[in-house]
Amino acid sequence: MADRILIIEDEEKIARFIELELIHEGYEVVKCGDGRTGLELAEGGDFSLVLLDIMLPGLNGLEVLRRLRKSSDIPVILLTARDAVMDKVAGLDQGADDYITKPFAIEELLARIRLVLRRRSHADHEPAHNDPDDMLRCGELTLSESHHEVKYAGSEIELTGREFDLLNTLLINKNIVMSRDRLLGSVWGYDYMGETNVVDVYIRYLRSKIDEVFGINLIQTVRGVGYVIRDENE
């Protein structure tokens, strides 16, 4: 059965554009342009996921999310304006599953939707600690979160906790370019007060332990944006 997605977004052009793309991908879509109606639909409508804009008439997106979370753990991806860092932090604090900054590439939104839905269906059916699929892969590289273990072609790679978390985040978001801010937020936390180049420093550590040792180009730099692990087989 197709996943049903609710779009709560008052900018009709954006909502329509997302709707067409989602229908093309085989999802069922309902859209709505104000917070209050959106909240009612989300609470009662048997959706698999909600795309929630923050700047909305009626109730704003953060308020919709706060109220929704009292009764529902339905996955929510926030649509935020560029540089609205406080919104992102507040949104994640209030239980958003992910966010995407406008303007975005539709492919990135689709990837995030797939990821959130997959994560959610795993969480529903299989506890992570004994999930045989808990292994993340890219080519010959494997990472097991439950065993806290990274291997390349079977040989183990010793990583520190932070290095492991960074690699884990990149692998979970495989094929998605991750900005430094985003990596910083996921791995060090949004309240991290140190230097933002800590991300670059740890990327260097990872490369010296993986790329340089095994002669591969696992972690790619996207100039001016951040980093990505690409799986050429996907």
Q: Give the interface size with Ca ion as a residue count (CB under 5 A).
A: 3
Min. distance of Cβ 58 from Ca ion in angstroms?
Answer: 11
The whole-angstrom separation of Cα 217 and Cα 210 is: 9
- Selected range binding Ca ion among 36-44, 49-57, 89-97, 192-200, rule: CB under 5 A: 49-57
- Going from the C-alpha of 107 to that of each of 1, 55, 117, 126, 175, the distances in angstroms are 22, 23, 15, 28, 11
Residues 189-208 interacting with Ca ion (rule: CB under 5 A)? none
3-state secondary structure 104-167: CCHHHHHHHHHHHHHHHHHHHHCCHHHCHHHEEEECCEEEECCCCEEEECCEEECCCHHHHHHH
Beta carbon of residue 68, minimum distance to Ca ion (angstroms, whole number): 17
Pick the piece of the chain touching Ca ion (CB under 5 A) from 24-32, 55-63, 122-130, 203-211: 55-63
Rg value, the chain, Cα: 19
For Ca ion, the binding residue among 55, 110, 111, 177 (CB under 5 A) is 55
Q: Of 6-14, 35-43, 138-146, 168-176, which segment contacts Ca ion by CB under 5 A?
A: 6-14
Shortest distance (Å) from residue 130 CB to Ca ion: 42
Is the Cβ–Cβ distance between 61 and 54 less than 8 Å?
A: yes
Q: At what angle do helices 198-209 and 161-172 cross, to 10 degrees?
A: 90
Smaller CB separation from Ca ion, 53 or 163: 53
Cβ proximity to Ca ion: between 55 and 92 the closer is 55
Min dist. Cβ of residue 65 to Ca ion (A): 14
For Ca ion, the nearest residue by Cβ is 55
Select from 9-17, 66-74, 127-135, 169-177 the region that touches Ca ion (CB under 5 A).
9-17
Q: What is the footprint of Ca ion within residues 61-120 (CB under 5 A)?
A: none
Q: How far apart are the C-alpha atoms of 120 and 138, rounded to whole Å?
A: 21
Q: Which of 53, 87, 98, 163 binds Ca ion (CB under 5 A)?
A: 53
Q: Which two tokens stand for residue 104?
A: 């975005």
Instruction: Give, as one character, the DSSP assignment of residue 103.
Output: S
The SS3 of residue 48 is coil
Position among 10, 25, 145, 165 found at the interface with Ca ion (CB under 5 A)? 10
Binding site for Ca ion (CB under 5 A): 10, 53, 55
